[in-house]
Amino acid sequence: MGPLSDTKPRREEATKENIAYIRQMLAELRQVAVGEGADMLCYLIEMAYVEAGDVQTGRRPRSVFHRERDKPTGMPV
C-alpha cells in the first residue's frame, strides 16, 4: 500500500481535531455572549455547541443529505 492508504485515517483525525476546536471556540464565544447579555445569541451558540458535541461523539453525522434539506434562500450571510 502506498501513501494514499494513509490519507483517510489522517483526514479523519484532522476532522476530529477540527470539530473539537470548533466546540472549544463555541464555548468561549458563549462566555462572551453571556457577558454581553445577548440571550438569543447565547442560545444559538449553545445549540451549535451541543450539535458539535453530538458530531464529536458520533451521535449525529457531520452533514445531512442535501436532498432532505430545504433549498437555500439565496440570502447573503
- The whole-model pTM stands at 0.69
CB 49 within 8 A of CB 26: yes
Under-70 pLDDT residues of the chain: 1-5, 64-72, 75, 77
Residue 71's pLDDT is what? 64
pLDDT for position 66: 47
